[in-house]
Amino acid sequence: MLSFLPHSLRGALAALLLILNTLLCFSVLFPLSLIKLLPIKSLQVFCTRQIIRIAEFWMACNSGWMALTGNIEWDIQGRERLDYDGWYLVTSNHQTWVDILVLQHNFNRRMPMLKFFLKQELIWVPIIGICWWALDFPFMKRYTKAYLARHPEKAGQDVETTRKACEKFKTTPVAVFNFLEGTRLTPAKHAEQQSPYRHLLKPKSGGIAFVLDAMGEQLRSLVDITIHYPDGSPTFWDLLSGRIRKVVVRCQIKPIPTEMLGGDYRHDEVFRADFQRWVNRLWEEKDLLLDKLHHDYPPGC
């Protein structure tokens, strides 16, 4: 809509609108997050649902400034089968921070709000950290192998954190989200890993295994999302300044095999091997799909 403006001016306007949107929504969310601290279960559930509504409004407003300052051509397939009242395990390939805005724009209010697993340090991010906490985003503390060797009592705490987070998810329909690659794809990371996939890093299956162990009776469907940027991975400034021309998204809803539910990923070597094979097959299929998307949607297409 504002494509006649210079990219730098559009970027500054989009950044301002994002900040104002965040501050406005936070001013309503913060009092509810304080009320949610009261040890009254029904009140906590009510506050959680209202906080989710605020977050959905925040995402809708972000979609507004994206349409105002940019002119993205969206090519989306597969989301029509999603249910707002469903319970899903969701994953996607990960190339850029823009992925998160792409996911929120295209799936907001089409399925339950995406709940990401976050590094514990992110709780200290001003304003946003409190919002993530109020929305029950689980914060994970990761330990290095060297640290665990010195403090073996810390082993398994990530599993317990996952279990506690999933207990909160059981009161409201949820879409538990996990970037299986664990980090953004770059040529350097791809080469360092010696990844067997052309367009992906190696998947890490432990996180979703713990989620399925804790919530397997509810999460029976996997929403497998594949994102392709025909002109290459954009930066967040590219999004703000309206430089992204086209985004292709494919959504596939797949059943989660019953044998992948309720197993002991940490201690059962046979189950762990089977689970990793299942995840690797998903990644092989995604890599083939990305091959096709790169062919069908080359740069400038």
Residue pLDDT, tens place only, 128-180: 999 998 998 877 766 556 655 676 665 666 666 667 777 777 777 889 999 99
Residue 254 belongs to some domain of the structure: yes
Residue 248 belongs to some domain of the structure: yes
Residue 3 belongs to some domain of the structure: no
The residues that bridge with 157 in the sheet, in sequence order, are: none
Q: pLDDT, tens digit, for every residue of 263-285?
A: 888 889 999 999 999 999 999 99
**Nearest by Cα to 75 from 115, 106, 35, 34:** 106
Confidence of residue 120 (pLDDT cuts 50, 70, 90): confident
Lowest-pLDDT range, 19-23, 27-31, 264-268? 264-268
The upper half-sphere exposure of residue 169, i.e. CA atoms within 13 Å in the direction of its Cβ, equals: 31
Q: pLDDT, tens digit, for every residue of 238-267?
A: 999 999 999 999 999 999 999 998 888 888
SS3 3: coil
Q: What pLDDT shows up at residue 300?
A: 76
Residue 43 sits at the vertex; the CA angle it makes with 57 and 45, to the nearest 5 degrees, is 55
Share of the chain above pLDDT 70, in %: 93
How many residues are there in the chain? 301
Residue 40 belongs to some domain of the structure: no
Residue 240 belongs to some domain of the structure: yes
**Nearest by Cα to 166 from 184, 180, 182, 178:** 178
Q: What DSSP assignment string belongs to 238-288?
A: HHHTT---EEEEEEEEEEPPGGGSS--TTT-HHHHHHHHHHHHHHHHHHHH
Q: What pLDDT shows up at residue 53?
A: 96
Residue 15 belongs to some domain of the structure: no
| CATH code assigned at 142 | 3.40.1130
CB 181 within 8 A of CB 204: yes
**What is the span of the domain harbouring residue 256?**
73-296
Q: Position of tokens 């996990």?
A: 178
The residues that bridge with 77 in the sheet, in sequence order, are: 250
Residue 184 belongs to some domain of the structure: yes
Q: What DSSP assignment string belongs to 124-186?
A: GSTTHHHHHHHTTPPEE----HHHHHH-GGGTTHHHHHHHHHHHHHTTS--EEEE-TTSS---
SS3 30: helix
Enter the DSSP assignment of 157: H
Q: pLDDT, tens digit, for every residue of 288-298?
A: 999 999 999 99
Residue 117 has pLDDT above 90, yes or no: no
From CA 208, how far away is CA 212, in angstroms rounded? 6
Q: Position of tokens 């790169």?
A: 294
Q: What pLDDT shows up at residue 138?
A: 79
Sorted by sequence, the CB contacts under 8 Å of residue 64 that are 6+ apart come out as 17
Q: Position of tokens 């494509």?
A: 3
Mean pLDDT of 185-201: 96
Give every strand in the sheet of 175-178, ordered side by side: 73-77, 246-255, 221-228, 88-92, 175-178, 114-116
* Widest distance between CA atoms in the chain: 60
Residue 162 belongs to some domain of the structure: yes
119, containing H or E segment = strand 118-119
Q: What pLDDT shows up at residue 166?
A: 74
Q: Specify the number of domains making up the chain.
A: 1
Share of the chain above pLDDT 90, in %: 69
